[in-house]
Amino acid sequence: MATIAVENYLKHVLLLSEGADDLVPMGELAAALDVVPGTATTMVKALAAEGLVSHRPRYGVRLTAEGRRVALGVLRRHRLIETFLVEVLKMDWTEVHAEAELLEHAISDAVLDRLDALLGHPATDPHGDPIPTRQGKLDSQVYATLATCVLAKPLRIVRITEQSGEFLQFAEERGLRPGASVRVADRNLAAGLLTLKMSGARTVAVSLAAAGSILVAPAD
């Protein structure tokens, strides 16, 4: 059985290799897991011996097919649990990530299937993150971000990729949540600042960094 630590390593390798299906550098993995780099190296070598990742020393890690299978399972649990906490227990979508971080390692397939059915087999979690299917399919649709999208056109927020509670509260207070309508009125690269128009003519200022973690699609 995969231990909690193993599950966390695999999940983070998966998350860090999103988009760039390149090797994940050790330093990034260590930072994501909040361990020192040496610890990550040791662990990754063990995972490689188990056949869960392949390790190019000095360059980085990548999931094997088996490692990816395990990681997708963890991610599915994580995101279904977040959805449950918001939809059924009515918790705040800005605070459920930390809860799911622990529960994702404790919930069985039997319970997960019931949860999934109760929620009506949702495709995304409260942050707009796609939920892997039971068969291990993960929607990898690419969206523009507020940092890269066209100006002035009406858009819909589809996903917020940053997970930290403070960030999400900042976003929530400004109406920046999945499903919300938004328009980029101005984007000043030099100043690193964007001006957004929300529904109801509300004006909101966000940093370029923040804008990069807010994914949008054309409002149709």
Provide the binding-site residues for a copy of itself, judged by CB under 8 A. Answer: 85, 88-91, 95, 99, 102-103, 105-108, 110-111, 114-115, 118
What residue type is 208 in one-letter code? L
Choose among Mn ion, a copy of itself, DNA, none what residue 110 binds, the Cβ cut-off being 5 to 8 Å by kind.
a copy of itself
DSSP, collapsed to helix, strand or coil, labels residue 78 as helix
Beta carbons of 99 and 87 less than 8 angstroms apart: no
- Beta carbon of residue 50, minimum distance to DNA (angstroms, whole number): 9
Beta carbons of 9 and 62 less than 8 angstroms apart: no
- Beta carbon of residue 218, minimum distance to DNA (angstroms, whole number): 37
74 scored as a contact of DNA (CB under 7 A)? no
Choose among Mn ion, DNA, a copy of itself, none what residue 60 binds, the Cβ cut-off being 5 to 8 Å by kind.
DNA
Question: Sheet of 193-198: strands edge to edge?
Answer: 144-145, 214-218, 155-160, 181-188, 193-198, 203-207
1 scored as a contact of DNA (CB under 7 A)? no
Output phi, psi for 210, to 5 deg.
-65, -45
Neighbour-count burial of 85, counting CB atoms closer than 10 A to its CB (0-12 exposed, 13-18 middle, 19+ buried): buried
58 scored as a contact of DNA (CB under 7 A)? yes
Look up tokens 């919930």; give the residue. 107
What residue type is 133 in one-letter code? T
Positions 28 through 47 that interact with DNA (CB under 7 A): 28, 30, 33-46
Choose among DNA, a copy of itself, Mn ion, none what residue 40 binds, the Cβ cut-off being 5 to 8 Å by kind.
DNA
Taking CB under 5 A as the binding criterion, the range among 32-40, 48-56, 101-109, 191-199 that sits at the site for Mn ion is: 101-109
Beta carbons of 130 and 124 less than 8 angstroms apart: yes
125 scored as a contact of Mn ion (CB under 5 A)? yes
Give the footprint of DNA on this chain (CB under 7 A).
3-6, 25-28, 30, 33-46, 55, 57-58, 60
